[in-house]
């Protein structure tokens, strides 16, 4: 099997910079050996080794009439000790360097215990068995992988069958979101150096009962399909792909989860990759219909990556789509602070675009000093520093903004800042940059 001369680390890209701990391998279920062998294969990507954990679940308590249920003295301690011995035996049997692996036995609900250990250890990856997700398992809430995804911010690799080596054939689902791009980057760190990653974008034709709108919807679909190559190009620019990896693009019409599993089987894939959007209460409950459906249908291993933190999400979204827009004032302060840190000192052009008067250039040549949002006064402040050959400084206040948008070129380099207010906008652009966008690439919301 071809190998890279320098092993890509999970911490090189893809995984959050703060997650520098060991890979977590959760040992349990019906086939712990396959999970441990997968961890052995991927251990070379973890500078801080592997932590094998097993979770001791509390025994169910039954009440028989008035009689109390007595637990033998030291019973739980003996159960824990027995599980620790069994875990150590499995590690010695299936790891190539058992002395370099640590083991740990936790007590409680498996999903929460695994997530807590991963958070405590700052792990970049959790490896688990995919389990048998039949209807009865869902009814009894035995889907440990899906329940773990609800409570962790760590990528989870659900192993199905035998992962004999680093994945060579990978199918990555993409909706051209930063979440799917980040998921692909995590997968790329785990792949064989001569592997192939196939990006699959599945979409469905517009449907509306009223035939009078058939031509309009057909035009939307045609335009959307025409723009797909440009969106794939931008995705490739955004994702850091190691040399030697082959990249393929696949467009498919149909339900995303169904199409992902179909193409994975057709290509004999070792791994399917999907990303998750956000961690709101509804997202924690549902995990994401695509991710959960793929986990229940896949015949190969599945990697599910959580949404990155705000700063990373912003960085990747700028590379993927060329713009990041926020309409919530709660986001503006941090967003403008990061924008300032990246661009302080660059020469600018300041324009105000008003529907009544058109676009008017206000200032040219001043260097960018900063942008802030004052939630008390509901005001964005733009500060421009020293001009060439001058010591003049300017400040422009923008009251009652409606939205703040960052603009970037295809490489993710900032080219400007747009503040929407009233019926117009104030546009700050950098004169040392060229705006490259895929204008119109976003599909009309249906």
Q: Name the least confident of 26-40, 82-96, 239-253, 295-309.
A: 26-40
Two tokens, residue 196: 């192939």
Model confidence at 150: pLDDT above 80: yes
* Beta-carbon contacts of residue 296 (< 8 Å; ≥ 6 apart): 133
> What's the domain range around 19?
1-60+75-162
Tell whether 66 is covered by a domain.
no
- Are 417 and 349 within 8 A, CB to CB? no
% of residues, the chain, pLDDT over 90: 52
| Boundary-marking domain end, from 144, 162, 180 | 162
Tell whether 369 is covered by a domain.
yes
Cα 223 to chain centroid, rounded = 28
In a shared domain, residues 136 and 259: no
Two tokens, residue 326: 């926020």
The total domain count for the chain is 3
Task: Write the DSSP assignment of 342-397 as a string of letters.
Answer: HHTT-EEEEEEEETTTEEEEEEEEEEEEEEEEETTTTEEEEEEEEETT----EEEE
Residue-level pLDDT at 283: 44
Q: What digits encode the pLDDT tens for the residues 380-427?
A: 999 998 765 556 578 889 999 999 999 998 778 999 999 999 889 999
The H-assigned helical ranges of 298-351 are 310-321, 329-343
Cα 252 to chain centroid, rounded = 22
Q: What digits encode the pLDDT tens for the residues 1-50?
A: 344 344 556 654 445 556 789 999 999 876 788 899 999 999 888 888 89
The DSSP 8-state label assigned to residue 293 in this structure reads H
Tell whether 97 is covered by a domain.
yes
The CATH number covering residue 138 comes to 3.40.50.620
pTM as predicted: 0.79
In a shared domain, residues 308 and 211: yes
Residue-level pLDDT at 250: 96
CA angle at 53 for the pair 47 and 59, rounded to the nearest 5°: 165
Q: What digits encode the pLDDT tens for the residues 103-139?
A: 999 999 999 999 999 999 999 999 999 875 554 444 4
Q: Tell me the pLDDT of the chain averaged across its residues.
A: 83
Q: What digits encode the pLDDT tens for the residues 215-259?
A: 667 778 888 889 999 999 989 988 989 999 999 999 999 999 999
Tell whether 170 is covered by a domain.
yes
**Residue 56, H or E segment:** strand 50-56
Model confidence at 68: pLDDT above 50: yes
In a shared domain, residues 229 and 329: no
Q: How confident is the model at residue 267 (pLDDT cuts 50, 70, 90)?
A: very high
CA distances to 103, 255, 314, 326, 344 from 331, in Å = 41, 33, 11, 7, 20
| Boundary-marking domain end, from 107, 134, 162 | 162
Residue-level pLDDT at 164: 78
Task: Write the DSSP assignment of 386-439 as a string of letters.
Answer: EETT----EEEEEESEEEEEEEE-TTS-EEEEEEEETTEEEEEEETT------T
Residue 426: strand pairing partners: 352, 419
Residue-level pLDDT at 46: 84
Q: What digits encode the pLDDT tens for the residues 198-207?
A: 999 998 876 6
Q: Between these two residues, 71 and 241, which has the higher pLDDT value?
A: 241
Q: Between these two residues, 440 and 65, which has the higher pLDDT value?
A: 65
Tell whether 438 is covered by a domain.
no
Model confidence at 181: pLDDT above 60: yes
Q: How confident is the model at residue 321 (pLDDT cuts 50, 70, 90)?
A: confident
Two tokens, residue 303: 């990697």
């Amino acid at each position: 099997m071809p190998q890279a001369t320098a092993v890509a680390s999970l911490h090189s890209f893809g995984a959050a910079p703060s997650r520098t701990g060991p890979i977590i391998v959760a040992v349990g279920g019906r086939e712990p050996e396959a999970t441990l062998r997968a961890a052995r294969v991927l251990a070379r990507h973890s500078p801080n080794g592997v932590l094998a954990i097993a979770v001791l679940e509390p025994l169910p308590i039954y009440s028989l009439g008035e009689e109390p249920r007595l637990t033998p003295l030291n019973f739980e301690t003996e159960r824990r000790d027995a599980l620790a011995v069994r875990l150590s035996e499995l590690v010695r049997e299936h790891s190539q360097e058992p002395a370099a692996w640590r083991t740990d036995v936790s007590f409680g609900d498996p999903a929460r215990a695994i997530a807590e250990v991963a958070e405590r250890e700052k792990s970049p990856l959790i490896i688990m068995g995919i389990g048998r997700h039949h209807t009865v398992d869902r009814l009894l809430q035995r889907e440990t992988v899906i329940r773990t995804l609800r409570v962790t911010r760590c990528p989870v690799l659900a192993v199905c069958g035998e992962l004999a080596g680093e994945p060579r054939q990978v199918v990555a689902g993409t909706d051209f979101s930063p979440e799917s791009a980040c998921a692909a980057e995590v997968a790329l760190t785990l792949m064989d150096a001569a592997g192939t990653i196939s990006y699959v974008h599945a979409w469905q034709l517009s449907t509306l009962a009223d035939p009078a709108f058939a031509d309009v919807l057909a035009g939307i679909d045609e335009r959307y399909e025409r723009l797909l190559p440009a969106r794939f190009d931008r995705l490739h620019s955004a994702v850091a792909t190691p040399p030697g990896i082959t990249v393929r693009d696949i467009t498919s019409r149909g339900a995303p989860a169904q199409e992902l599993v179909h193409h994975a089987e057709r290509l004999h894939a070792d791994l399917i990759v999907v990303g998750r959007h956000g961690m709101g209460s509804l997202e924690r409950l549902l995990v994401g219909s695509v991710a959960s459906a793929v986990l229940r249908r896949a015949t190969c291993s599945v990697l599910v990556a959580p949404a990155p933190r705000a700063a990373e999400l912003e960085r990747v979204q700028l590379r993927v789509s060329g713009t990041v827009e926020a309409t919530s004032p709660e986001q503006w302060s941090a967003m403008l602070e990061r924008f300032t840190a990246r661009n302080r000192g660059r020469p600018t052009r300041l324009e105000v675009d008003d529907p009544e008067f058109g676009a008017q250039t206000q200032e040219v040549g001043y260097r960018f000093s900063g942008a802030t949002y004052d939630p008390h006064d509901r005001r964005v402040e733009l500060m421009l520093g020293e001009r060439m050959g001058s010591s003049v400084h300017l400040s422009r206040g923008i009251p009652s903004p409606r939205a703040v948008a960052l603009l970037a070129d295809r490489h993710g380099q900032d080219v400007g800042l747009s503040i929407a207010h009233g019926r117009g906008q104030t546009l700050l652009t950098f004169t040392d940059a060229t705006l490259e966008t895929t204008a119109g690439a976003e599909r009309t919301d249906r």
